[in-house]
Amino acid sequence: MSVKDTYNQLASDYENRVDKEAYYNTLYERPAMMKELPLDLTGKSVLDAGCAAGWYTEQLLQRGAIVTAIDLSPEMVAATKRRIGEKAEVYCLDLSEKLPFKDHSFDIIVSSLVLHYVEDWESVFHEFQRVLKPQGVFLYSVHHPFMDIGMSQSKDYFATELIIDKWKRQGRYIEVPFYRRPLHSILEETLRFFTIEKLIEPQPIRSLEKKEPESYEKLMKNPHFMLIKARCQTPLVQETIGTEEDILQLVREDDWMMEILRTAKKLNLPDWWVCAGFVRSKIWDTLHGFDVRTPIPDIDVIYFDETNTDEAEEKRLEEKLKSLHPTLPWSVKNEARMHVKNNIPPYTSSIDAISKFPETATALGVKLDEQDNLILTAPCGIKDVLHMEVRPTPYFKETTERAAIYEERIVNKNWKSIWEKINITHITQ
């Protein structure tokens, strides 16, 4: 059963019972969450992400917020609308898909006990980061990993695992699928997009002691949920880079890069590109808000010419470029020759060679065509470079020898010391 189907079945229970009888919500999670929000939210734009039957939506409205509520379940959306009428915008939306909101739309995002139903947090957090204003607050609650490890069949604490729970409601059992995660995964996935201000392991309020003393005693000693309060530190400039055209515009506006491309074009090489760190570093510098360009060790000019694979020709071309711009670290390589040097099957083109660079974020190239139009090639896509993800290309995952080369590059390049927001994936993971 899907999460959507599950919560369609649970909507009536949330609408009619949870606010009165679900003490883990009313006397434990909800007080802890509301404590982290200002009492006066007048004029603040708030996204209730996973609104269920609308309890948080109503509370946020009472504090003066301008609320937009969303939920995967049509039945939950209907319940929220019955609760608050037309006081807020309520939509049936899937958090795993792109949200229909403009960049920097919300001051606060509240997500109560929702994210453990989502397998891939990366796309969700990327969207939350996009729609949050700079310095905006992201407050969420999830299962505490120490709690749900007891439900794991594998008993592997470090795994992200699908678990099927069963809740008894109105005399029948409903299957409730969710994903458990280790603590380090929760924190790392959050820190890739936000700055964490607080990690809260709540304890219940005293009212629970009278109503359910056993539950009170248990929760005072064993956490069931955890809360994270984070803040969006994304510079405005980061959100201007989302497409290939955005990358091209970055290069067009950079006089230094354009002069390099015009110079490389003068060589009249077949299938030529300026590639790798030349493009990637510009993107990452921009995403980090750097005012000063990060130096690159080489300006990599590649081309593909099967008619002349003499290495001396590459050196001659390098010297010609140095005569035009002697202070630049030019490097020229004919990819029709590089398979011999690397002892691999021949490439079919320069783009084929770029697709087999070690990292997807480096597998980029730009050039000027005959009409001086700027062209970008990204055979492994642009998602990883824009999300500041360092991952091996499929080619470098194929053999242990290439995997070792990738891992050695990660160590030697030490990119994390320059661009602290990047996230590095190791092949052994």
The predicted pLDDT at position 238 comes to 44
> Residue 230's domain is classified under what CATH number?
3.40.50.150
pLDDT band per the 50, 70, 90 thresholds, residue 1 = low
pLDDT at residue 334 tops 50: yes
CA–CA separation, 346 vs 241, rounded Å? 34
pLDDT at residue 6 tops 90: no
pLDDT at residue 234 tops 60: no
The CA-CA-CA angle for residues 289, 290, 291, to 5°, reads 115
Clarify whether residues 242 and 218 are in a common domain.
no
The Cβ of residue 12 has, within 10 Å, a number of other Cβ atoms equal to 14
Residue 25 belongs to a domain: yes
Clarify whether residues 130 and 241 are in a common domain.
no
Q: State CA 197 to chain mean position distance.
A: 19
Clarify whether residues 284 and 343 are in a common domain.
yes
Residue 363 belongs to a domain: yes
Residue 171 belongs to a domain: yes
Residue 265 belongs to a domain: yes
pLDDT at residue 342 tops 90: no
Residue 166 belongs to a domain: yes
Clarify whether residues 27 and 138 are in a common domain.
yes
Clarify whether residues 262 and 407 are in a common domain.
yes
321 touches 328 (CB < 8 A): yes
Residue 429 belongs to a domain: no
Average pLDDT score over residue span 329-345:
90
Average pLDDT across the chain, whole number: 92
Clarify whether residues 152 and 243 are in a common domain.
no
Residue 180 belongs to a domain: yes
Clarify whether residues 219 and 267 are in a common domain.
no
pLDDT tens digits along 305-331? 999 999 999 999 999 999 999 989 999
Clarify whether residues 318 and 185 are in a common domain.
no
- C-alpha torsion sign, points 323, 324, 328, 334: negative
pLDDT at residue 4 tops 90: no
Instruction: Give the total number of structural domains in the chain.
Output: 2
The total number of residues written for the chain in this structure:
429
The predicted pLDDT at position 239 comes to 44
Clarify whether residues 342 and 366 are in a common domain.
yes
Clarify whether residues 289 and 396 are in a common domain.
yes
308 touches 336 (CB < 8 A): no
Residue 396 belongs to a domain: yes
Domain termination site, one of 172, 204, 234: 234
pLDDT tens digits along 93-139? 999 999 999 989 999 999 999 999 999 999 899 999 999 998 899 99
The predicted pLDDT at position 236 comes to 43
Domain termination site, one of 191, 211, 234: 234
The predicted pLDDT at position 165 comes to 87
The fraction of the chain above a pLDDT of 90, given in percent, is 80
Helices (H), ranges, 205-345: 207-211, 213-221, 244-252, 255-265, 277-287, 311-324, 338-342
Clarify whether residues 199 and 330 are in a common domain.
no
Clarify whether residues 181 and 281 are in a common domain.
no
- For 86, residues 6+ apart whose C-beta sits below 8 A from its C-beta are none
Residue numbers of the domain that contains 147: 3-234
Domain termination site, one of 234, 258, 279: 234
Helices (H), ranges, 328-376: 338-342, 350-355
